[in-house]
Amino acid sequence: MGEFGMTYILAIETSCDETSVAVVKDGQTILSNIVSSQIDVHKRFGGVVPEVASRKHVEGINFILDEALREANLTLDDISAIAVTYGPGLIGALLVGIAAAKAIAFAKEIPLIGVHHIAGHIYANHLVKPLQFPLIALVVSGGHTELVYMKDHLQFEILGQTRDDAAGEAYDKVARVLKLPYPGGPHIDRLAKEGKPVIPLPRALMDDSYDFSFSGLKSAVINTMHHAEQKGTKISQEDMAASFQEAVVEVLVEKTMRAIKEKQVKHLILAGGVAANQGLRSNLQHVCKQLDVELTIPPLALCTDNAAMIASAGYFYHIKRKWSTLDLNGVAGLALTTV
Ligand code: KG4
Ligand code: ZN
């Protein structure tokens, strides 16, 4: 059970292409957070290949588990509970983490906690600064675009979400059209700084809903590039990156700000891999200052998939005694509901 009063959560995250194990004390202090990315393996396919991802998780999980415990300077006997991402994600990938987590929970007779991946992304912020409620979380990743309102710990109310592509997915698809490597988000972000947003692109769903839609924008980029190619004219990659980025960021910021005002919150948190985006960060910083709203953005290593964020969320499930049973299963399309 560890030191008296201390809670050590060991967490496992294998929902996509990162194998990660972390140990976090009391939901806030990272003792270790080992992340083994498979990006190089999937790069040549231009995206994550689910079957390959599962196999890589199997190969790496035991080693990464040992590494996380070693770096935390603890043994399994010190661990209070095991948290694991059980969805949403690639089913074969999720199951690797879940099987490992169950084995430890069973052998050590400690609680098993199934954690929602997006709850994890949100709680990455708690590792930086305690969450202050009520808050708005903007979750933007390769698989998700969600605007979430939270009145208290683990109380998630989804105000809006994407109706088609996720923000990061749109970045990756547009990057492919621009012949940039996978994952394309960081490349577009970098190029955007060198270009001008002079190419007209649509802003989808600028209505009073909180939903997002990025597939029309993606198609507009593809069409513009194809037309230019057919006509033999050249479009600057930098200008296209800047124009696309402006279109994405404008919609994300506008809807987030409207939610902040409507719900009268004083804390905005950003989550998911796209939180690394410089354009999004600087725009949100600017408007939050104007509205006198505190903005928390986790450091890059905590924005992308990692197990420390799962441990932090898992801690709150743990203190509420929201434990899972040993028949916990992976759920590819798991919904984010209040726990
Ligand atoms: O959260 P994450 O690691 O994985 C998911 O759970 O989806 O997010 C990865 C996504 C990828 O689509 C990647 O292109 C995007 O985050 N991304 C970015 C940037 N860095 C990563 N998108 C835009 N700008 C960035 N700087
Ligand atoms: Zn993620």
Question: Which CATH number goes with the domain that contains 21?
Answer: 3.30.420.40
* Torsion sign, CA atoms 73, 78, 80, 81: positive
Report the nearest atom of ligand 1 relative to the CA of 18: 3
pTM of the predicted model as reported, rounded to 2 decimal places? 0.92
254 & 232 share domain: yes
Candidates 20, 122, 171, 306: which one to mutate for ligand 1, based on the most atoms within 8 Å of Cβ? 171
Residues 143 and 69 in one domain: no
The predicted pLDDT at position 327 comes to 97
For ligand 1, atom 2, which residue shows the shortest CA distance?
273
Nearest residue (CA) to ligand 1, atom 16: 273
Residue 68 sits in the same domain as residue 174: no
33 and 144 within one domain? no
Q: How far apart are the first and last CA of the chain?
A: 24
Is residue 130 in some structural domain? Answer: no
Residue 278 structural domain: 135-297
Q: In terms of domains, do 282 and 323 share one?
A: no
According to the model, what pLDDT value does residue 337 have?
83
Provide the number of structural domains found in the chain.
2
* Ligand 2 geometric centre to CA of 139 (Å): 9
In 3D space, the residue among 45, 53, 297 whose CA is nearest the CA of residue 172 turns out to be 45
Q: pLDDT value at position 4?
A: 57
Q: Where are the alpha helices (DSSP H) in 195-277?
A: 215-231, 237-263
Pairwise CA distance, residues 46 & 30, whole Å: 32
Structure confidence at residue 179 (pLDDT): 93
Tell whether residue 189 is among the known ligand binding residues.
yes
Question: Would you say 78 is a known binding-site residue?
Answer: no
Tell me, yes or no, whether 277 and 314 share the same domain: no
Residues in the chain with pLDDT < 50? 1-3
The residues lining ligand 1, judged by C-beta closer than 6 Å to any ligand atom, are 16, 141-143, 168, 171-172, 183-186, 189, 272-274, 276-277, 304-305
